[in-house]
Amino acid sequence: MIDSGKIESPALRLARYLKEFVGLRSTTVRDFSKYESVIWFNEMPQVADCRSAAWTDALESDESWLEVRKQEFRNPPAPPAAIAQWVDETALARATQVFPPLREFILVEDTNAELEDGESPPMVKVFLKDHPEAERGYEQYRPKWEAWSEDHRRREAVQRIYAKLFTLHTQLQKQGEILELVLGMGLLDWRAPGGNSAIAVRRHVVVGNVELTFEPGKGIIRIGPPGEGARLRIEDDMLEAELRPDRSHYTELETQLEEIGDAVWDKPLVYEALRSWAGVLEANAHWHEGLDAREGNGKYPCVSFAPALILRKRLQTGMVRVYEKLIEDLGEENSSVPDGWGILIDDKWESKPPSIPKPVDELTGITPSDSEIYFPLPANREQRQIVRALESDRHVLVQGPPGTGKSHTIANLMCHLLATGKRVLITAETARALKVL
């Protein structure tokens, strides 16, 4: 490859190739409907058992972004005997906005009819207008039922959100390696020009990391920032390169997002950041505050705050950024190739590992032998082969399908390396993987 009249180094060519490869593997999602699940904050009931700073400033800064409690439902109040026959009990059990009306008439047995042996009494119509006591009982019962109905509907709305969050929790527990839960802000709605036709885009431009915690004993689900923070970031992969704002604007917005940190409901700061991004995206872009997900006119981009919880497949954008930074560093004058990268492009690449003194047992004064393997857990021949491989190779790949004991093996290796004076750094794509370890 030729760049600025210079022949690119093998390291730089490899970085560019891998960035392109990862980009091709990533499926561009332009519409949020392609996600696994989306829960909008504007669809949540704003009541005591569904609390969020998204719609109130009364919460403390260290409280959860969202807290939802499991609901207990009460039976409807029993109707008085005076109206028991005049109202549909099935309708009374449904919490609706309209109180079920009384029947205009009912059928009752005619107790005055003359009957022969074995004959059942005939049924006759009895009209409501002839029973004012039923009307009075109806009006006395009505406030009790309406209060129950309103409370029941409120609880149903909260329980629907609780059930959706419970489903998210279950999916993350089962597929945490491939799924992620994020908070989306700044919904972009636009029929963006692209080639010979417009490209429909409806996706959030800023996302942040989310942690979902579940307390089954208390029936509480909370949403908040994870231990490492929300890490708000821009996402523009749904836009063609020529439609994205100039890179200089990204630096300013990234600074704003860093200042926001975990204070994602600080409306002045968040609105200013999203408004700024919309302003540099297109001259006629529209910006809307509030929780509602607005739709644009198609011609010009429309950006609205419209926060939502999004469960989606993990994107490759983070890896693309890693390669972009590597390409930037390798493109500089007199740049040095990292050891881990150099071995990928040169079979004869050599780097001297740091010299680490071996530990000495404080009680016995004995230095552990390189030939001895310190595994506290049961081990097999393959695990011991990994230790031998590490003694001669700087890079060892161990792979296997779920359930084959990779976490067990890593735990053994950590203990062995520490016992022989090594330092160990563990990284993982998900926090769940580290918890398992």
Q: What's the predicted TM-score (pTM) here? A: 0.70
pLDDT tens digits, 197-253? 788 899 999 999 999 999 999 999 999 999 889 999 999 888 888 888 888 888 888
Decide the pairing of beta strands 308-313 and 179-194: antiparallel
Given this model, what pLDDT does residue 231 score? Answer: 93
Q: Which residues of the chain are under the pLDDT cut of 70? A: 1-7, 21-27, 61, 194-196, 316-319, 347-370, 430-432
Q: Following DSSP, what letter does each residue of 163-202 receive, concatenated?
A: HHHHHHHHHHHHHTTTEEEEEEEEEEEEEEEETTEEEEEE
Given this model, what pLDDT does residue 356 score? Answer: 54
Distances from the Cα of 308 to the Cαs of 186, 270, 398, in angstroms?
10, 14, 38
Whole-angstrom distance, CA of residue 298 vs CA of residue 358: 67
Given this model, what pLDDT does residue 436 score? Answer: 79
Residue bearing tokens 């409370």: 151
Whole-angstrom distance, CA of residue 291 vs CA of residue 304: 8
Letter string b/e over residues 284-301, b meaning 16 or more CB atoms within 10 A of that residue's CB: ebbbbeebebbebeeeeb
Given this model, what pLDDT does residue 21 score? Answer: 67
Given this model, what pLDDT does residue 2 score? Answer: 41
H-run or E-run covering 22: helix 10-25
pLDDT tens digits, 128-143? 788 888 888 889 989 9
